[in-house]
Structure 1
Amino acid sequence: MYKKFLVSLMLLFTGGAVSGEVDNYYGWGKELKDEKKAFNQYLNVTVTQVLVDQKSKFSTAQCPDVAEWIMRNLGAQRYPLAYRGVLNSDMEIWAQESPLLDRLPAVGVSLDQYALDSIYSPVMRTAGIKTDLDHITNVNGTYIGTDKISHFLGSGYEYYKRYRKAIHSTSPELAQMEAIAWADSMEGGLLGMKVVGVYSYADLEANYQGFLFAKNLCDKPYIKQVDSQWLLTTPIEVENYVNPNWDESFNVSAYSKSRLESVKNNLINLPVCELRNGAWVTMQTEQYRLFDHSPRSKQSDYLNTSFSAQLFYLAQQYKYAPDTLTAEYLHSQFKELNITQSQLVAWARNVSAPLQSDFTLSALCP
C-alpha cells in the first residue's frame, strides 16, 4: 500500500500535470469583458522574454527543440502543489490574481462563497485537501476556467513532447492518439475521476489546443531564427485555440458515482436548471455553434473543434451506440481523421471516454 502511495505522489508531481476544477454553470447570466487582448499580450511578451533569456542556448538549436523549451517554460513545471493545492502555470496565476482582468467570482465574493454556490458545494477536495475552485474568465466570447490555461500550456507541453517522441515510429495521427490516451489516463485517474470525481472533456480539449499551439510555433511559424537569434516574428493570437469546448457547461464533464449524487443534490437548490432554457444561455449556445469547424449531426451537443474532440465523440459512439453508426458516416469519419476502423476500435477500447449524454442537464435536472 505504501509503495502504491509513493507512486501516486510521483505521478502527481510529473511535469505538466494539472489538477483543479471550475463550475462554468456559475457564470451563466453574468456578463464578463472579453479579455483576449490581455491574454495575447501576456503570451507574446512572455514568449519573447523566454527567447531573449535563452539566446545562447538556442543559437544552434532546431525549431522543434526551441518550441518544446518555450512550452516547458510556459507550463506548470515549477509549482508542485505549492499554490492553492494544485499545479499552476505562471499564466494561470496571473489570470487569477491580476486586478486588470474581469473574472468570476466578482470582487468581494469569497472563494468559499463561490464553492457554496457551485455544483461542487460545499467544497472541492484534491486527495482530501481543500482546493479552491478556479475562476471564470471570458476569452473571445468563450467562458473558460482559469485551470484551462495550465492545461493549454502544461498538458500541451506534455502532448507535444510525447508526439515528438512517437512521430519517429508512427503516423502523425497515431502519435497524437498516443498523447491523447495519456491525458485520458490522467482524467480517469489521479488528476480527475479517482481523486475529485470529475472527468473533464474541456480539459482534454484545452490540452490538445496547447499541443497545436506548440506545433504551430514552428509550423505557422510564430518563431524564426534571424542572425542566430530565435525571434517571435508572428503575433500569437489565443483566439485561434480557445473554443467553446473549453467551457464545462457546454462540453460537459462526467462524474464518479459519489460526485454525480452530490451534483444532482446541489442542482435542486441552484438556479442552473431554470436558467438552461433562458435567453442568456440560448444566446451563448447559438454563439458557440458558430465555432464548429465542420457541422454534422444536430442530434447532440457535439461541437467539432479538433481532431481530439472528434476522436472522443467517435469513441463514445463506438462504445455506447455502435448500432447507430452507418457505413457512410464511418467512411467520412475515418477519411477525415486519416485513421482506420481497427485503429479507432483499439484506441476506444483502451480509453475511458465516459458517455457525456448521461451528464447533461437534461439528464441531471430534476
Structure 2
Amino acid sequence: MKIWLLLLCFLFSGVQAAEVDQFTGINHLKDSSAVIEAEVNRRIQLAIDKANSHYPQPQQKKKLHHRIRPQCDVERLYGQLQAQLAQSLVGQVEIFAEESPQVDKRRVTFQQSVYRDFERLDAPSLVMSERVAAVIRVNHVYLGTDKLGHFFTEGNTYFEITDRMSRGVEAGLLYGEWSESLYFGAQTTGVYSYADLVANFNGLRFWNRILATHADPLKGEYQAPYIACSNKRWVFNERFSFDDYVDYGWDESINCSAMRTEKLLQQFKQYQPQCDGGKVPRRYGDYSRRIINRDDFKVLPYDLQPEIIVSRRSYVHEWNLPGWVAETIHEIRLDLEIWREGSPD
C-alpha cells in the first residue's frame, strides 16, 4: 500500500491541481472581464495568423520559388488555437490572470485558507504545492483563476473527447467527473468542485463555437462562429466575450463543492464557509444534476466515486473492460483511505 501512495503522490505532485478559497477575506474587486477578453482575442488573432502562414518548406524543395500557403486548414487552425489557449496543467489565460497587474485579484495563502488543516496524505497535491488560486471578478461573478484553465484547457479536452461535438456531450461530462474524482480533485486536493465542471462545460461550448459546425449544446441552436473561412483564409468573424459563459455556477461559494471524506468536510467547515446555493443558475436544464450542487457542502456521493464513473465511461466509449476492473478500483480506493487514516503523516 505504501508503494501505491508513493506512486500516487508522485503523480499528483506533478499535476499540481489547484483549489480556490472564495470564503476568506472577501473584498470588492474590479471587473477584469475586458482585460482578460482582450488577451483572449489577441491570442485568437495570433492563432489565426499562424494558421494562415505558409507551411514550412521541406528541405528537399529549397529550389522552389514559392511556398505553399494553407487554404483554411482546420487541423492547423485547431493546433494553433490549442497552442495559444489550451496549455496543459496551467493554462496561458490562467497564468495571465494570475500575473497581470491589470487584473484586480485577491490572494489567500494556503496557510490562511479554509484548507489549512488538510494533511499531506489526504490532499497530496494541494498540501505539497500549497497552490491556492487567486480570486478575480468577471462581470458580476467572483471566481478562481483556475477556472480559466478549466474553461480553455479542459473545455478543449471535452471537445476532443466528444470528437469535436460529433458524438454529443456525454463522453465529455464523464471525463470531467472522472478527472474531478481523481487527479484534478477528490484524490489530489480532497475537493470535488462542481464549479470546475461548469467551467469545463462552458469551455466545450467555447471550442464548439470556434467554427460552430454543431449546435450549441446548451441552447440547441447554431451560433455565429468566432472564426470563418473567407477567400481560402481564416478570418476573425466574431469577438470573444465571457457574457454567454460565466455565471454563478463558476463561484464555489454558490455552486459548492463536495469533500472526499467526512474528515475533510469537518476540517473545511470549521472555518465557517457559507454556501449561498440559492443563487445557482437555472439555465443548465438536464445538465444541472451533473454540474450543479443545489445542496450545502457535502461528502462526495458514492455515484461519483472512480469505480462507478469508470463503468459508465466504459459503456459510452465501448471499452470492453473486464468486470473486475471497477471492483479493483473500489478496493484500492478503500484500502488507500484506510491506510491514510492509520498512517502517521
| Secondary structure, aligned partner of 2:132 | coil
- 1:307-318 matches, within 5 Å, as 309-312=287-290
Partner Cα distance (1:139, 1:316) in 2: 22
Matching residue within 38, 41, 46 for 1:44: 41
Say if 1:237 and 1:302 are closer, same or farther in 2 by CA, change over 3 A: closer
Gaps of 5+ in 1: 78-86, 106-110, 286-299, 318-342, 351-366
Matching residue within 207, 217, 233 for 1:214: 207
Say if 1:213 and 1:152 are closer, same or farther in 2 by CA, change over 3 A: same
* Identical-residue share of aligned pairs (%): 23
Do the aligned partners of 2:22 and 2:135 also contact (CA within 8 Å) in 1? yes
Matching residue within 116, 121, 137 for 1:121: 116
- 1:236 aligns to what? 240
Alpha-carbon displacement from aligned partner over 1:97-116 (angstroms, at most 9, x marks no partner): 111111102xxxxx5xx333
Higher helix share: 1
Say if 1:33 and 1:18 are closer, same or farther in 2 by CA, change over 3 A: same
The amino acid of 1:242's aligned partner reads V
- 1:83 aligns to what? none
The amino acid of 2:260's aligned partner reads S
| Secondary structure, aligned partner of 1:237 | coil
- 1:150 aligns to what? 149
- 1:135-284 matches, within 5 Å, as 135-164=134-163, 167=166, 170=167, 175-219=168-212, 220-257=224-261, 258-267=263-272, 272=273
Partner Cα distance (2:204, 2:101) in 1: 29
Do the aligned partners of 2:117 and 2:267 also contact (CA within 8 Å) in 1? no
| Secondary structure, aligned partner of 2:129 | strand
Query: Aligned pair 1:70/2:81, yes or no?
Result: yes
| Secondary structure, aligned partner of 2:235 | strand
- 1:328 aligns to what? none
- 1:23 aligns to what? 21
Gaps of 5+ in 2: 56-68, 213-223, 296-311, 317-325, 327-345
Query: Aligned pair 1:34/2:31, yes or no?
Result: yes
Do the aligned partners of 2:159 and 2:208 also contact (CA within 8 Å) in 1? yes
Alpha-carbon displacement from aligned partner over 1:179-213 (angstroms, at most 9, x marks no partner): 11011001111211011110000000100111100
Do the aligned partners of 1:24 and 1:144 also contact (CA within 8 Å) in 2? yes
- 2:70 aligns to what? 59
The amino acid of 1:177's aligned partner reads E
Q: CA deviation at 1:214?
A: 0.5
| Secondary structure, aligned partner of 1:25 | coil
How many residue pairs get aligned? The number is 270
Bigger Rg, which one: 2
Q: CA deviation at 1:149?
A: 0.5
Say if 1:154 and 1:26 are closer, same or farther in 2 by CA, change over 3 A: same
The amino acid of 2:153's aligned partner reads G
Q: CA deviation at 1:262?
A: 1.0
Q: CA deviation at 1:63?
A: 4.3
Say if 1:90 and 1:34 are closer, same or farther in 2 by CA, change over 3 A: same
The amino acid of 2:193's aligned partner reads S
Say if 1:11 and 1:176 are closer, same or farther in 2 by CA, change over 3 A: farther
TM-score w.r.t. length of structure 1:
0.64
Do the aligned partners of 2:249 and 2:255 also contact (CA within 8 Å) in 1? yes
Say if 1:126 and 1:52 are closer, same or farther in 2 by CA, change over 3 A: same
The amino acid of 1:23's aligned partner reads D
- 1:132 aligns to what? 131
The amino acid of 2:51's aligned partner reads Q
Do the aligned partners of 1:72 and 1:154 also contact (CA within 8 Å) in 2? no
Partner Cα distance (1:143, 1:217) in 2: 26
Alpha-carbon displacement from aligned partner over 1:115-143 (angstroms, at most 9, x marks no partner): 33321125775175232210000001100
Q: CA deviation at 1:151?
A: 0.2
- 2:284 aligns to what? 306
| Secondary structure, aligned partner of 2:136 | strand
Partner Cα distance (2:50, 2:133) in 1: 31
- 1:317-332 matches, within 5 Å, as none
Do the aligned partners of 1:32 and 1:138 also contact (CA within 8 Å) in 2? yes
